[in-house]
Amino acid sequence: RGWKMLTLLPLAAALAFTPPSTPNATISHILLPTFEACQDVKAHIDSGDLSFARAAYRHSLCTTRNDGGSLGRHSPGRWDYRLESVVWGESPECGSVPYAGDDCLPINTTSDCVKSSFGYHIVFVGSREVSMPEKKGLRRLWGAVKAAFSKILPRKR
């Protein structure tokens, strides 16, 4: 019976390891060539003359301009650190989302002008959340472990 238990150890270990939840944010940006141009576009957004998406379409140098500047969903560690510090902050928490600090950009808010190696950006965070592991895969794994254990462990009589 000992060798059967050893064959189940990898399954039990896999079950015990739940993939970590992943923080992510929906991000849009407007890329501009100069600080002055960035400040000008930011002023138009802040005054309500232009929506963020319209400003991106009219002024951004990035190809995302046709999608309102949308970069989609991103996790920490996948972007220029100066832009990430705007999205995720420097501290360990932002509300209940790990990896986002209290100094992170609030949701549905535009940032001030941020310099990167590409130019100057205005960043917009549409949402920030934590993606949980897929439950269906964990249920399937649990079913396999239960079935394997039921075959080798004696039943109570």
HEC-encoded secondary structure of 84-135: HHHHHCCCCEECCEECCCCCCCCCCCECCCEEECCEEEEEEEEEEEEECCCH
Look up tokens 């379409």; give the residue. 57
- Whole-number Å distance between alpha carbons of 22 and 73: 11
pLDDT the model gives residue 121: 96
C-alpha to C-alpha distances, 157 to 12, 38, 75, 142, 154, nearest whole angstrom: 25, 76, 52, 25, 9
Q: What is the pLDDT of residue 145?
A: 67
Domain boundaries, the chain: 2-18+135-152, 22-131
User: Hey, what CATH topology would domain 22-131 get?
Assistant: Chitinase A; domain 3 (3.10.50)
Q: What is the pLDDT of residue 104?
A: 78
Residue of 88, 83, 114, 84 lying closest to 101 (CA atoms):
88
Q: What pLDDT does 95 receive?
A: 45
Regarding pTM above 0.85, the answer is: no
Give, for all 157 residues of the chain, the pLDDT tens digit.
555 555 555 555 555 555 556 778 899 999 999 999 999 999 999 999 999 999 999 999 999 999 999 999 888 877 788 888 888 876 544 544 444 555 678 889 999 999 999 999 999 999 888 765 555 555 666 677 677 667 766 666 5
Per-residue model confidence (pLDDT) at position 76: 80
CA distance 137 to 14: 11
What angle in degrees, to the nearest 10, is found between the helix axes of 35-47 and 52-59? 150
Residues 138-147: b if buried by 16+ CB within 10 A, e if exposed: eeeeeeebee
